[in-house]
Amino acid sequence: MNNCKVSTHERPLRAEPPPVRPQDSPPCEKIAAPAIVVASIMRAEGGTGIQTHFQSFLDVLRSRLRPCRLVTPFDARRWKVYSVFGLRMPIQLLSRSASVWWYRHWHEHFLAQALRRHLGDDKHCVIYAQCPPSARAALNTRRSSGQRVVMAVHFNISQADEWVEKRMISLGGGLYESIRDFEKQILPRLDGLVYVSDFMRRELLSRIPAIEQVPYVVLPNFVDDPGPGMAAGIDADLVTIGSLEPRKNQGYLLDIVAAARRQGTLLRITIAGDGPDRVNLEARARRLGVDDLVRFLGFVPDARRLLRRHRAYIHGATMENMPLTLIESLSYGIPVFAPAVGGIPEIFDDGVEGRMLPLGNPDAAARLVVEWLGSPARMHEAGCAARLRYLRRFESKAIGARLTGFLDSIDSRA
């Protein structure tokens, strides 16, 4: 059980405004804050980091009694939406790249339809788009200059690169270049950008210099406070959560477990998630002789509840912007092991809340993990540091308030 205590003085501090006396109030009517419209091509509910981000933000807005709503393609005429979306799988059997184009085109099309209806009567709002296609849908459907469009940069490098990692399109192919060009055209037209890591801000600036003129803020992903502590029973030493695809690199985690066994230590790991690599990963576990140490759970709703039942979280991705699962681990006071790629070094410090793992050297990575797991005192200190890091950097109310403030500053420029 994680019994570390965090002083209330170490929690995120929120400056309270000085009291306003009646005679200090200007004799004018109070201007209502603009509504915030979250626009996404994804479903309202789901387990992705993007869905968790916008749902957490909507929760913050509602707690502050701020006018807000979520608009998705599924708010359009449903019989049309489902009949068109249902054609994607047969198309994918013929051409994966064609199915990607179909997905992007029709999700944007139906989101634009839904936005036209929702934005028609609201001339003053901020549209918080969750990806480039949703940003273009918002830009093309807004009715006045009082409707500002801000986009969250959730993707890794480019959405084109993400589709390549999913093995849906080819690197350097026509659709790959088209998606990257699309981002170059859309992002400089926005009224604001929200980067969830400074890493992605640097990446995008190097590729799209025109966005330097777009107002921005760097704010990390955030999650609600679940409270610290582990469950009474522990299922395994390590847990990892995410879609089973090449970029997530779960095969490397199996190599680490195999290396630890060769070094004389049995590491048990739980892998939660599903995806195209599931069969290959199960075969790899058998080939490495560690299938008795690995538990594949498949897709698990609300998978973060698994964190309390493991001693540490381990991540092997070759590229990440701002992975939510690491932040969720910190919120529970659970140490993390992850490679220093993308925005991960912005989440925790090596040797404090966990360890940065080398990629391509499972023997060295296994020694780091085993050394830390073998020291209860060090794991306890790291767990306390993880919890404190979460409270200072990733707590939803504090970060949500800063995000709201940025969106309001963009509105004031109208």
HSE-up (13 A, CA, CB side) for residue 383: 26
* Same domain (yes/no): 249, 209: no
Task: Count Cβ atoms below 10 Å from residue 126 Cβ, excluding itself.
Answer: 26
Contact yes or no for 347/315 (Cβ under 8 A): no
Question: Which amino acid, 4?
Answer: C
Provide the β-strand partners of residue 363: none
Q: Is the pLDDT of residue 19 over 70?
A: no
* Same domain (yes/no): 296, 218: no
Has residue 365 been placed in a domain?
A: yes
pLDDT band at 210 (very low <50, low <70, confident <90, very high): very high
Q: Is the pLDDT of residue 317 over 90?
A: yes
Mean pLDDT of 19-24: 39
* Same domain (yes/no): 383, 405: no
Q: Is the pLDDT of residue 338 over 80?
A: yes
* Same domain (yes/no): 384, 408: no
- % of the chain exceeding 90 in pLDDT: 79
Has residue 90 been placed in a domain?
A: yes
* Same domain (yes/no): 218, 345: no
More confident residue, 43 or 23: 43
Has residue 170 been placed in a domain?
A: yes
Q: Is the pLDDT of residue 5 over 70?
A: no
Residue 17 DSSP symbol: P
Mean pLDDT of 263-281: 95
pLDDT given for residue 230 in this prediction: 65
Contact yes or no for 311/235 (Cβ under 8 A): no
pLDDT digits (tens, 9 = 90+) for 24-80: 434 444 456 889 999 999 999 888 889 999 999 999 999 999 999 999 999 988 888
pLDDT digits (tens, 9 = 90+) for 91-140: 999 999 999 999 999 999 999 999 998 887 667 899 999 999 999 999 99
Query: Domain with 80 in it: what CATH number?
Result: 3.40.50.2000
Task: Round the average pLDDT of the chain to a whole number and report it.
Answer: 90
Contact yes or no for 309/318 (Cβ under 8 A): no
Has residue 38 been placed in a domain?
A: yes
Assigned token pair, 172: 């350097």
Cα distances from 398 to residues 78, 98, 387, in angstroms, run 37, 42, 15
Of 184, 137, 156, nearest in space to 38 by CA: 137
* Same domain (yes/no): 404, 365: no
Has residue 366 been placed in a domain?
A: yes
- % of the chain exceeding 70 in pLDDT: 91
pLDDT band at 371 (very low <50, low <70, confident <90, very high): very high
* Same domain (yes/no): 408, 346: no
Q: Is the pLDDT of residue 12 over 60?
A: no
* Same domain (yes/no): 88, 58: yes
Q: Note down the domain range covering 109.
A: 33-222+395-412
Provide the β-strand partners of residue 151: 129, 193
Has residue 16 been placed in a domain?
A: no
pLDDT given for residue 9 in this prediction: 41
Of 356, 343, 408, 352, nearest in space to 383 by CA: 352
pLDDT given for residue 3 in this prediction: 63
Has residue 7 been placed in a domain?
A: no
Q: How many domains does the chain have?
A: 2
* Same domain (yes/no): 368, 404: no
Of 149, 51, 61, nearest in space to 400 by CA: 61
* Same domain (yes/no): 70, 202: yes
Element spanning 247, H or E: none
Mean pLDDT of 278-299: 97
Has residue 4 been placed in a domain?
A: no
* Same domain (yes/no): 108, 241: no
pLDDT given for residue 2 in this prediction: 55
pLDDT digits (tens, 9 = 90+) for 137-154: 999 999 988 999 999 999
pLDDT digits (tens, 9 = 90+) for 212-225: 999 999 999 999 99
* Same domain (yes/no): 217, 272: no
